[in-house]
Chain A
């Protein structure tokens, strides 16, 4: 039988005074502590050890994918560590002690003060990004299970996590990392291959509708000369799309 645990009481601290001691984090931190799956060491210590591995991995690889709730917890500690490092620098013994404990590999302590602190010196925002990640990927060879109990169902209805235990996944990254962005930029490029194809198709159909004898590029019989750094052909292309 499951008993309702009493909710923990908030400690009686004046928050205005607290903010003088530690910097205010720029991410939403949930008050309720999530239960994590048990590791090798039980209790709060084991919990911290698990989170330490995640924080170390985050500082090492700059983008990690893991279970959502541990990642959310680890994010807070990573933010705290970076903000302390930015605020106090390597001379502060408390900050150095904290970095020494949270980063299991010593070269990451150097990375924190020599690479990340200069990077985040003037960041007005948080230092990490956090996304929800999918449970599975088709590219990993995921085969959707067919639902044999309900054979009348469409295939697509049976895809989401049928008979699979899946914990929510999260993707945690340090901002300013060298990897390609997670979401492609929405800036449109008129020279990308789709846009070249579509604008030339538009020209083609327009010339057909008007019945004019203007030859499209296709019919003029002139191939593109393969000369790089020749802006002329590209300029023509953009003009034609207008």
Chain B
């Protein structure tokens, strides 16, 4: 290795250490991308407008009592109704809790996003992946990884290659990988190892920015206006509004997508991440991106992590769109927890 090289030229993603890539397809830098008024930015500005509108609609501020339950005892906080989030509650407890909590648990049965305003008096717990039973935070983490992969995939390709996100299935950790399905305007693309590493690197870069997952539930008109350039999403939205009267959308940076949620607190909770493979799904004409990740602070040796990576290279057949639509209507990840239509 030439030794004059400084560490800026070396990057680590997954278990690889490599110098700066010279790629063919994945050439754009996610964090330093030039702001063009593309569809992602348009969606993001719509999201901003809708968020501001919902904030204005709160009106007179009322107070609610929030009982924070933890191992070190309970704490009673007086918070603002429809404004204060569980993350705001952590500011009264400790910075450490706010940084490490993945998701909150309201009234000890309902998972609640860290950045979603609380609507009534409740008891609150903060869940971490290091808990005794980390089942909820693990699933939330896995879902958030799929979401972040969507953000990376939309940004990573060259501008002349069209990328249309299809969906990601509900989190299934036992399937060995988190999954994202997307249409890529490339014929018979078999990604080079460097391209996959570049995607892994973009995931790590996104995680280093520690962006919050913002949540909003919107009406059909707003959702359709946002995703007007995405025929798959339009289809999904119309399916969702058959059963529900709201749809939940999330935003990370400029990336907006539909998901039932809940999502984790911020992107910085990913410690180690590998995008292992992509597979072409012939029937759907989609590419399936697969990856494996571990939360920050979880240690695993290289050999064991290599086993997980190898498994993630095989096709994960969990809810392939064309097969899943036969048995599931609509796809579970898109179902919302909003109120059912009363009539």
Contacts and interface: CB of A to CB of B under 8 A. Distances in A.
**Co-complex (A, B):** yes
Contacts of B316: 218
A207 interface: no
B3 A152 contact: yes
A229 to B, nearest CB: 6
A8 to B, nearest CB: 45
B172 A218 contact: yes
B105 interface: yes
Interface in A214-242: 216-219, 221, 223-224, 226, 228-229, 233-234, 237
Contacts of A201: 176, 307-308, 311
Interface string B122-164: 0000000110111110110100000000000000000000000
Contacts of A226: 111, 139, 170, 260
Nearest to B141: A193
Contact of B105 (A191, A193, A223, A228): A228
Given A178-B72, A193-B134, A196-B138, A218 B318 contact: yes
Contacts of B7: 143-144
B295 interface: yes
B170 to A, nearest CB: 4
A24 interface: no
Contact of A221 (B96, B298, B300, B323): B323
Given A146-B6, A189-B132, A234-B133, A198 B327 contact: no
A58 to B, nearest CB: 20
A224 B170 contact: yes
Given A223-B171, A237-B174, A155 B133 contact: no
Interface size grouping (class) on chain A: 35 or more
B212 interface: no
Contact of A194 (B170, B298, B332): B298
Interface size grouping (class) on chain B: 35 or more
Interface of A is mostly: loop
Interface string A165-190: 00000000000001010000000010
Contacts of B307: 198, 201
Interface of A: 143-144, 146, 151-155, 178, 180, 189, 191-194, 196-198, 200-201, 204-205, 216-219, 221, 223-224, 226, 228-229, 233-234, 237
6 contacts: A197-B292, A217-B172, A218-B316, A223-B170, A223-B171, A223-B172
Interface of B: 1, 3-4, 6-7, 72, 96, 105, 109-111, 129-130, 132-136, 138-139, 141, 169-176, 260, 292, 294-295, 298, 300, 304, 307-308, 311, 316-319, 323-324, 327, 332
